[in-house]
């Protein structure tokens, strides 16, 4: 379903960080073109 799709992963410091989202998407066959962890306060 997500194979050959491009993704931008926005993580949150107090929630799920960007690198974790990145790894999950890679395991699903996605290509992450940008990944960041921000603090949304």
Determine the pLDDT at residue 6.
92
Its sign, for the CA torsion 3, 9, 36, 17, is: negative
- Domain coordinates of the chain in residue numbers? 6-38
Determine the pLDDT at residue 4.
77
Determine the pLDDT at residue 18.
93
Determine the pLDDT at residue 3.
74
Contact 11, 18 (CB under 8 A): yes
pTM of the predicted protein model: 0.77
Tokens of 28: 């699903």
> Per-residue pLDDT for the chain (41 aa), expressed as one digit of tens each?
777 789 999 999 999 999 999 999 988 888 999 999 998 77
Q: How far apart are CA 5 and CA 39, in angstroms?
A: 26
């Amino acid at each position: 379903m997500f194979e050959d799709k491009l993704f931008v992963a926005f993580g949150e410091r107090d929630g799920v960080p960007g690198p974790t989202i990145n790894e999950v998407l890679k395991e699903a066959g996605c290509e992450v073109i940008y990944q960041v962890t921000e603090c949304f306060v």
